[in-house]
Amino acid sequence: MFTDYDSYLFHEGTDYELYKKLGAHICEKDGVRGVSFAVWAPNARAVRLRVSIDGNGWRGVEMNEERSYTVDMERGAGGVWETFVKWAGKWTVYRYEVLGADGILRKKADPVASFSQKRPSALSIVWDGSEYVWGDGAYMETVDAGQAASRPMSIYEVHLGSWKKDYRENPDGFVGYRRLADELADYVNYMGFTHVELIGICEHPFDGSWGYQVTGFYSPTSRYGNPDDFRYFVDKMHRCGIGVILDWVPAHFPKDPFGLENFDGTALFESPDPLLAEYPEWGTKAFDHSKPEVRSFLISNACYWLNEFHIDALRVDAVAAMFYTSFGRAQWRPNKYGGNENLDSIAFLKQLSVAIEDGTKGYLIAEDSSIMQGVTTPVREGGIGFMFKWNMGWMNDTLKYFETDPVFRGWHHDALTHTADYAFTERFVLVLSHDEVVHLKKSLFGKMQGSVQDKFGALKTLYAYQFAHPGKKLIFMAQEFAETGEWSEARQIDWGFAEDPGHRDVMEEIRALNAVYRKYPTLHDDVSVDPVTFEWVNRYDAVRSTISFIRRNPWNYDGAILAICNFTPVRIDGYNCGAPVPGLYKRVFSTYDSLPSENPKSNGTVPLEAAEMACDGYNYAIRYDLRPYETVYFELPGGQIPG
């Protein structure tokens, strides 16, 4: 029953457990077990519920009109329509038939359905997630969003439908959540990643949208199983010590007729303002964040994934689109201050951030390409409140640099080094994401220049540079073994490359990088957001296209890492690098270490003694034979910073 108090919270925009009231819920009424249904459609003339008679609609794609019937729903508090069906239960298939304010009858999926039939069906399914018994209690006791910035975060970005396919299991090749959980957890642990980030889990009708055009905001996609199967997936990851990040889309939704568009014959979830109603570039409707009911719907959805599915974090998609009314629009209306900032959406994001901080164990990551300031500053300190922000500038500048012929890289050296100038303006995640390996952009391997051997060398030094640079880390699946082709959601990534020696070498390098990254706090502790944790040794060697820098804690060089990067296929014998303190510099990583032909006793595994000489502004230096496309890490001698 949707009470007056529920209505008050909902229309105030502060009902963060809306999913417990709207949608379909198994319950008892007057001693009879059944399902209560509730849907918000305040401007509808009438709403009917159509349900399958026997509840066995799982394998079908359309409602069997002869084996189903309709129930007239009653309008209750706050424009919510309700009914109770006494024989319904788990697996019951249903939809709403909404007679809109415009007199048009629309067949709609439940906006708060916890389960949906697999596309192309538009039907909702009754589900009860309370029956699942979680086994991740030990992991959940360690979860502390406040500590996320100081802990290692190396993310493996995954699209489950193309990570693994098996056409014996499913005509579409989709593998179930449970099998995926078991196989993916083993692989992620083997590779040393700390988190998985999942693309396309919220139900969506079009595979080619990758899950970014959502129709089932509360439904884990049925492509891989039911909601409890997905709970098992998260549970398994947690029991293996792996965090789970979910891509989440509160900016827009598609125009599929069974979805949210014109839900009750009016612009209910979208804006009635034609200059704000759509994102023309994507062909989608924009959520109207000025409406308190929309805020309740979306913030409840975020809390639902974090609380009911134990998701660690939500990566919020298209944040820049929400920041600006001018995003992707030829015409836009200035706000009351004359600017292009979308004040309603910014207020929504701040409210969302506070709700997540106060009501869940999770946190938010912004996929944001804007120049908006304070994205990762707490709301109570005047910011937007995200924990992390994707560093799109780093990805764009770095990949452009690597796509440049090494002969000309010296002219673009600033594009590479400039990324350190803003590395501490926010808490960043350095991403090499799916967006950069689709739509004729080439794979990461394909972006590299020169011969096949040069491509391997350049890609390995790119990864090593990424792991030493300030910020958390993210790599999209198949890039860890240098897949040569672009990614497609329609096919499985080519695991055959992982068996080729050159590609396997890249894979082993990623394992080594993850191990070093997790071992040294100076590489992963970004809690300070303080430039003092990064120190240039030489940023100006444009002629040879090399850089060197130190990652350290603010107090001393104990456990600090000196990184030297050679971005060309040219060997530099006797490379002198400034050293801040005297003592022995131990080599802890090189891009050459994973090569089967590499002699483990050669070229610097013996610690280097810093010689007393002026170099790079220091009084000491180490001398190293820097090989083509080599990035090397040295552990600095412990001790206090020279006064």
CB atoms within 10 A of CB 209: 16
* DSSP state string for 173-215: -BPPHHHHHHHHHHHHHHHT-SEEEEES-EE-S-GGGTT-S-S
E strand segments, 312-422: 313-316, 363-366, 388-390
Phi–psi pair at 306, nearest 5 degrees: -75, -40
Kindly report the length of the chain.
643
Residue from 234, 243, 250, 330 nearest 288 by CA: 250
C-alpha 409/C-alpha 544 separation (Å) is: 9
Pairing mode, if any, of strands 388-390 and 252-253? Answer: unpaired
Phi–psi pair at 108, nearest 5 degrees: -125, 140
User: Catalytic amino acids?
Assistant: 317, 367
Which DSSP symbol is given to 642? P
Who's near 254: CB < 8 A, 6+ residues apart? 204, 205, 206, 209, 213, 214, 215, 261, 283, 284, 285
Q: Which residue has the tokens 């869940």?
A: 360
C-alpha 438/C-alpha 541 separation (Å) is: 33
Say what angle helices 177-191 and 227-239 make with each other, to 10 degrees.
20
